[in-house]
Amino acid sequence: MAPRKSLPRFSAQLRTLLPGSEKPAAAPAAAETPAPPGARVTVSVIVRRKAPLKTAHSTGKQRLTRAQFRASHGPDPAAVRLVRGFAKEYGLTVQPGTPAPGRRTMKLTGTVASLQRAFGVSLMHKDLGGTSCRVREGGIHLPEELIGSVVAVLGLDNRPQAQPHFRIAGETGSTAARTAQGSGFARPHASANVSYTPVQIGQLYGFPSTATAKDQTIALIELGGGFRQADITAYFKSLGQKAPKVVAVSVSGGKNSPGSANGADGEVMLDIEVAAAVAPGSRIVVYFAPNTDQGFVDAIASAVHDTTYKPSVISISWGAAEANWTAQAMNALDAACQSAAALGITITVASGDNGSSDGVSDNKNHVDFPASSPHVLACGGTNLESSNGSITSETVWNDQNGGATGGGVSNVFAIPSWQTNADVPKPTASPGGRGVPDVAGNADPATGYAIRVDGQTMVIGGTSAVAPLWAGLLALANQQNGKSAGFINPIIYAAKAKPAFRDITQGNNGAFKANSGWDACTGLGSPIAPQLIAVVNPSASSTRKPTKGKTKKTTAKRSSKSTHAIVGKKLPGKLKPPTLTLKPRQEYLQ
């Protein structure tokens, strides 16, 4: 007797729009062809949790161990079974090991023809900005039984999702300007008035001079570019520091792929050199992923659930205006950040470099995501001037030449409880309200950071520098306090944290002006490190007050060496031969 064929289950059901999956039409393309039906593509299907995270978990009040998280908030087994059955019926292969422990992402691979039938989409190849992209438009339609069990399907469309938030200083025609113009995301700006090493920036903000972060791992999320050992060795030798241990982790096919100074290498090197220089002794783990919504979510989730390197801080310098994301992708990425908060991991994110418009040409205000996630520390930018080792002026970064700190009010995420007394302006769309940024630091290319990229020393600014700066500060705090700070936003918005910040009250980013207290340009302000480290100490009692001290004297004492590193001059410090450790790349199951 011939074996009985199973009756169609999912193909017989009505199709329903996956909420938040609508993708706007791509820009008109010179070349447009149907995606080859036999080409194989891997997509991410993200299923619901066993149980939602409680507010106490996502705000960091009650941390979960990894075992607790997996037991209660991993993937719903019923949802996993449904997706496996759906995949089998449509001829899709579930990647072994997915979903990985603690993860909710199932990787499904199949032909374009099978994926189009399974998800009710049409896939095209379009030439967008000189790059051939696989594009879908409109929504994803699933069998009705999967709605509620599946929360996102990512990877059908592989258009670039995000931009790095760095700016290169240099006059038109200069080497720095030419390298910037060779890229679509790093534009040249006026020559730097003065530049600093990251160490000097740390000194001005009062970072502890003798502290290390030797037991801390800082994760960096990168969606392109790469680093070279020779550059890291030379840079830290010029600082008189031992080079950090740098580990490259491959996520979803992303790799450490250094190119030239006119690409994303500037972002990668800025992140590594700033974070490692201000947090000496830390291990730097760089998660390389493709620049797609799928790759972005995979990279963050890989870092959050990494049981090998266990980062205590994650720094992200990439993003895009909320208007340029699908709701499902934002929700999936925010959920990964929520998981980080529950596990006691801090995520620092650049707020963007295009002022209150965030680069959207519709004459409206926009904020950058993932900086607008209510589960991250959003980092804005300032112009920082100093003399004799002390800060003399700090204002909102706005160079009137297209570069300004991102900031404003989310139109997607509601105002969180810890921000309700911060006088955040009203959103322009419901259910928004979350104010951006939370904190700030030096970002203006005119007072930028001297960074080595692909054999060149150039001055780089942008809020991309602020995210790793804060990541380094928190790594120092974690080492000094003996426990990771975790999600710090509720703590720093409390009244007792006010002495931990230098309030920025001058300048604007377009639509928003700086003022006393929190504002949509620089948040609560830039750090006064000794007080900040005390405030974020999880072991401190609820009544403990920040350490009081004369920051000027402390900063001046630590800055007895030359404060400014003018472009073209030798960076300060004794020359000690550092070492760089590159461990084998590791492919994380999604």
CA distance 550 to 556: 10
Q: How many CA atoms are closer than 13 Å to the CA of 562, on its beta-carbon side?
A: 13
CA distance 294 to 296: 6
Are 343 and 69 in contact by the 8 Å Cβ rule? The answer is: yes
* Residue 530, CA distances (Å) to 11, 202, 204, 352 in order: 61, 11, 12, 27
Q: Which two tokens stand for residue 321?
A: 């205006």
3 state SS of 217? strand
69, with CB counted inside 10 A (0-12, 13-18, 19+), is buried
3 state SS of 470? helix
How close are the terminal C-alpha atoms of the chain, in Å? 41
- Alpha-helix runs per DSSP H in 107-208: 112-119, 175-181, 198-204
Are 120 and 22 in contact by the 8 Å Cβ rule? The answer is: no
Amino acid (one-letter) located at 444: D
Question: Is 267 labeled as catalytic in the residue annotation?
Answer: yes
3 state SS of 537? coil
Residue among 219, 374, 367 at smallest CA distance from 299? 219
Query: How large is the angle between the packed helices 66-73 and 327-342, nearest 10 degrees?
Result: 140
Residue among 375, 449, 412, 419 at smallest CA distance from 520? 419
- Name the active-site residue from 21, 464, 526, 559: 464
Q: Which two tokens stand for residue 509?
A: 């980013």
CA distance 283 to 475: 10
Q: How far, in whole angstroms, is CA 567 from its chain's centroid?
A: 28
- Name the active-site residue from 267, 273, 298, 353: 267
CA distance 251 to 268: 16
In the DSSP assignment, the letter for residue 404 is B
- Alpha-helix runs per DSSP H in 21-65: 55-58
């991410």: which residue's tokens? 44
CA distance 283 to 448: 24
Question: Is 464 labeled as catalytic in the residue annotation?
Answer: yes
- Name the active-site residue from 271, 444, 454, 519: 271
Are 206 and 529 in contact by the 8 Å Cβ rule? The answer is: yes
Q: Which two tokens stand for residue 583?
A: 């461990």
Residue among 453, 558, 565 at smallest CA distance from 179? 453
- Alpha-helix runs per DSSP H in 153-286: 175-181, 198-204, 229-239, 265-278
Question: Is 454 labeled as catalytic in the residue annotation?
Answer: no
Encode 416-427: b = buried (16+ Cβ within 10 Å), e = exposed.
bebbeebebeeb
Q: How far, in whole angstroms, is CA 483 from its chain's centroid?
A: 22
Give the H/E segment covering residue 447. Answer: none
Q: How many CA atoms are closer than 13 Å to the CA of 211, on its beta-carbon side?
A: 25
**Could you give the residue numbers annotated as active site?**
267, 271, 464
